[in-house]
Amino acid sequence: MKKLINNPEEVVSEMLEGFVLAHPKQVKLVPNTSVIVRADSPIQGKVGLVSGGGSGHEPSHGGFVGTGMLDGAVAGEVFTSPTPDQVYEAIKAVDGGKGVLLIIKNYTGDVLNFEMAAELAEADGIKVAKVVVNDDVAVENSTYTTGRRGIAGTVFVHKIAGALAETGASLEEVEAVANKVIQNVRSMGMALTPCTIPAAGKPGFSIGDNEMEIGMGIHGEPGIERGEIKTADEVTSVLLKKVLDDLQPTQDEKVAVMINGLGATPLMELYILNKKVSDLLKERNIDVYETFVGEYMTSLEMAGCSITLLKLDNHLTELLDAKANTVAFKR
Amino acid sequence: MKKLINNPEEVVSEMLEGFVLAHPKQVKLVPNTSVIVRADSPIQGKVGLVSGGGSGHEPSHGGFVGTGMLDGAVAGEVFTSPTPDQVYEAIKAVDGGKGVLLIIKNYTGDVLNFEMAAELAEADGIKVAKVVVNDDVAVENSTYTTGRRGIAGTVFVHKIAGALAETGASLEEVEAVANKVIQNVRSMGMALTPCTIPAAGKPGFSIGDNEMEIGMGIHGEPGIERGEIKTADEVTSVLLKKVLDDLQPTQDEKVAVMINGLGATPLMELYILNKKVSDLLKERNIDVYETFVGEYMTSLEMAGCSITLLKLDNHLTELLDAKANTVAFKR
């Protein structure tokens, strides 16, 4: 196993320590937890936003904690849902009296554990709302999921709900805009190589030297087609077609685009994909408002990508544009 | 070769097209060149900053073009110096009448080609100054270099010289502060895996399943020690010791730290390295002013890292803090 680690059992705790040591002005660790919160948490009079999930998807989710995005991020073990008590700690740590929104990616373990945490917090008198992100159009139902999986589109939920929360909006308003993003965001991914969970010590699956898998999930869940490696243009066409078929943007509607790398794919390749994305959207008269290219929701050192489209109206555009200052997303 | 590309011969041109299509408000391509410049170039009355080198190190260098950093970036073929005519095009495109500073990484081809371009531009009456970055303390002289190589520390030169240029400083002043950064910045890297130049189709070197190489260059140039994979803490100790021995910060001096990923190394691992960096610097009473963790100067999909320290005085700190708005570096 070729990894720069110490003890495979300690990768999450060491990562979290290294993270807060790197960015002490922006984030802090809630003592004796795996919860990262804004350095100025809790913020009185602001809805608190909490997300999280298994580790191994960095910069998700701790990298998006900061002004204009998340208040807290809960880190589970690698590719493992955080436990309810950890999520509960996050809710308590960010509650500023105006309630807390949980942004959950649609994996059965995450949904259950975040819901149990919400119940614990509500018993303490904290108002909690939940949204579940299910942007991955590759498959209905999957290894760890009933319904569609949540992947990189989640970052747009963090950004836009976070921007509205920053204006002092109510929990109901922030929940509503998060659901509006979820209704308007679709993604699909593919992988060229597997990745290795440190504690497992070997790749979670195998994939032939000349093979790729279209629609693979961010934990290596099965996709829809395994076959010979296609060109960047062919891959882009397949992913984008499925996203567009589901999202159905009308001509002259505008979208935000995210070309997300899964960990080992060079930026060079992501930009080559973007050239084709841009061409294909232009052919359909779909206006690209802004494009994000980089690593937002990774799968350790997996090679591969996902493509996300978010349909934007004026309100969502304004919130997308709003100031954000987190470790991994600034504007 | 597991890559998301179309034609291996076209990766650089397709990447550059995809890049400017993604970020049209920030950058543009000089027609019929491989030169990226700020969308508002040339800026009258401001010293222009040009850097560049072989492609494959993204986000270097195009990702650092924008307010407060570079005016132009020249992209050579993968791991190949840009030709003098391309550098000359960049100089002409960014000259706003106050001269142009070339920031060159110390590789023989880069130095020669940037110098030839400077002569061409000077013949046109453009004032040109040059600085050569040689932050890599691993080895003296190397495959493509006389003296020390230039690696991730170059990004601090872009940031700080770019900030000073933005204030309207003269070419001599911007050159002087760039040289001051060069005198105060040191780096060292290591690799776990090789990478594949698309046009070559196979890895540039091999490295055993249980092996790593300390001191390897960003094009796979030989390092100083090949052996069994060490722990993250051991790797960090080796790299940081050599950087500190060369840089010799005194107690209570403050530094900026950059933990740079080479392409396939997860952020998780870079943060684990940072925990040890932080501990070791604390032991020596060296104050960390700010820490940057991520991919700044990559080697395609190589797994590995580099660690950079920059000694800061008040002037350098102020310039490091100054606003920057580029695709890959914002503050």
For A25-43, the DSSP string reads TTEEEPTTSSEEEETT-S-
Do residue A4 and residue B232 have CB atoms under 8 angstroms apart? Answer: yes
| Residues of B in Cβ contact (< 8 Å) with A192 | 2-4
Determine the distance in angstroms separating the CA of A165 from the nearest CA of chain B, rounded to an integer: 22
Contact across the interface for A269 and B6, Cβ inside 8 Å: no
What is the residue range of A212's domain? 185-319
Indicate yes or no: CB of B232 within 8 angstroms of CB of A59.
no
The C-alpha torsion from A135 through A27 and B297 to B314, rounded to 10°, is 150
Does a structural domain hold residue A300? yes
Note whether residue A1 is domain-resident.
Answer: no
CB A14 to CB B275 under 8 A?
Answer: yes
Question: CB–CB of B204/B194 below 8 Å?
Answer: yes
Which pLDDT does position B142 carry in this prediction? 83
- Residues B149, B198 share a domain: no
The average pLDDT across B95-99 equals 98
> How many angstroms away from the CA of B211 is the closest CA of chain A?
8
Check CB contact of B171 with chain A, cutoff 8 Å.
Answer: no
Q: Give the pTM.
A: 0.98
Specify if B36 maps to a domain: yes
What burial class does residue A320 get, using C-beta atoms within 10 Å of its C-beta: 0-12 exposed, 13-18 middle, 19+ buried?
buried
Residue that is last in its domain, among A156, A182, A208: A182
- Return residues 257-316 of B near A (CB < 8 Å): 257, 259, 263-275, 278, 291-293, 295, 298, 300-301, 303, 305
Angle at B312 between CA B306 and CA B316, to 5 degrees: 110
Of the candidates B6, B102, B110, B7, the residue with the CA atom closest to the CA atom of residue B57 = B110
Question: B291, A23: Cβ pair inside 8 Å?
Answer: yes
3-class secondary-structure state, position A248: coil
Mean pLDDT of B7-35: 98
The confidence score (pLDDT) of residue A259 equals 98
Residue given tokens 């993968």 in the structure block: B78
What does the block give as tokens for A300? Answer: 């350790």
Which parts of chain A fold into alpha helices (H)?
A: 11-22, 84-94, 108-123, 154-166, 171-183, 232-247, 267-283, 314-321
| CB nearest B303 (choices: A295, A301, A305) | A301
Average pLDDT in chain B: 97
The secondary structure element, H or E, covering residue B278 is: helix B267-283
In-domain check, residue B3:
no
- CB-nearest partner of B301 from A21, A59, A303: A303
∠ CA A192-A195-A201, rounded to 5°: 150
Q: Is residue A289, in this structure, part of any structural domain at all?
A: yes
CA distance A30 to A36: 6
Q: Are residues B62 and B174 in the same domain?
A: yes
Catalytic positions of B, written as ranges: 57, 219
Q: Could you tell me the maximum CA-CA distance found in chain B, to the nearest angstrom?
A: 56
Residue that finishes a domain, picked among A147, A182, A217? A182
Give the residue ranges of DSSP H helices in A57-187: 84-94, 108-123, 154-166, 171-183
Q: What are the angstrom distances between the C-alpha of A277 and each of A238, A290, B54?
A: 11, 12, 26
Task: Classify residue B118 as exposed, middle or buried by CB count within 10 Å of its CB (0-12, 13-18, 19+).
Answer: buried
Question: What is the count of structural domains for chain B?
Answer: 2
With a cut of 90, say whether residue B75 has pLDDT above it.
yes
| Partner residue opposite A267 with nearest CB, options B14, B59, B274 | B59
CA distance B113 to chain A (A): 23
- The angle subtended at Cα A138 by Cα A132 and Cα A143, nearest 5°, is 70
Contact (CB, 8 A) for B61 and B15: no
Same structural domain for residues A177 and A234?
no
Asked whether B34 and B13 are in contact (CB, 8 A), the reply is yes
Beta bridge partners of A27: A38
Which domain CATH number covers A126? 3.40.50.10440
Mean pLDDT calculated for residue range B252-257: 92
A110 and A252 together in one domain: no
**CATH number for position B241:** 3.30.1180.20
Residues A175 and A304 grouped into a single domain: no
Query: Are residues A155 and A18 part of one domain?
Result: yes
Does residue B162 share a domain with residue B79?
yes
A273/B18 CB distance under 8 A: yes
- Give the per-residue pLDDT at A141: 83
Residue A229 covered by a domain: yes
Closest CA–CA distance from residue B126 to any residue of chain A (Å): 32
Nearest to B19 among A14, A192, A271 (CB): A271
Task: Indicate which of A60, A262, A267 best probes the interface with B, i.e. most B CBs within 10 Å of its own CB.
Answer: A267
Residue B303 domain-assigned (yes or no):
yes
Residue B253 has pLDDT above 90, yes or no: no
For residues A228 and A225, what is the distance between their CA atoms, to the nearest angstrom?
Answer: 10
The CA-atom distances, in angstroms, between A7 and each of A15, A18, B218 are 11, 15, 27
Residues B105-114, mean pLDDT to the nearest whole number: 97
B209·A2 Cβ contact <8 A: yes
Q: Residue A199 burial by CB count (10 A; 0-12/13-18/19+): exposed, middle or buried?
A: middle
* Best mutation target, B13, B197, B206, B267, to test chain A (most A CBs within 10 A): B267
Please tell me whether residues B19 and B150 are part of one structural domain. yes
In a domain, B135, yes or no: yes
Indicate the pLDDT class of residue B149, thresholds 50, 70 and 90: very high
Which residues from B are below 8 Å from A305, CB to CB? 4
A190, A175: one domain: no
pLDDT of amino acid B326: 98
Record: contact B268-A23, CB cut-off 8 A: no
For B173-200, what is the mean pLDDT? 97
Residues A18, B232 contacting (CB under 8 angstroms)? no
Average confidence (pLDDT) over B123-149:
94
Contacts of A199 in chain B (CB under 8 A): none
Residues in chain A predicted with pLDDT less than 50, given as ranges, are: none
State whether A226 and A80 are in the same domain: no
pLDDT at B42: 98
What residues contact residue B159 under an 8 Å CB cut-off, 6+ apart? Answer: B64, B68, B69, B319, B320, B324, B329
- Residue where one domain finishes, among candidates B182, B202, B225: B182
By C-alpha distance, the chain A residue nearest B18 is A275
Q: Both A247 and A162 in a single domain? A: no
pLDDT digits (tens, 9 = 90+) for B187-200: 999 999 999 999 99
The owner of tokens 């397949």 is: A238
> A79 with A106, same domain?
yes
8 A C-beta contact, residue B44 and residue B96: yes
Q: What angle do CA B233, B236, B237 make, to 5 degrees?
A: 85
Identify which of A196, A203, A227 has the alpha carbon closest to the alpha carbon of residue A213: A227
The residue of chain A with its CA nearest to that of B207 is: A2
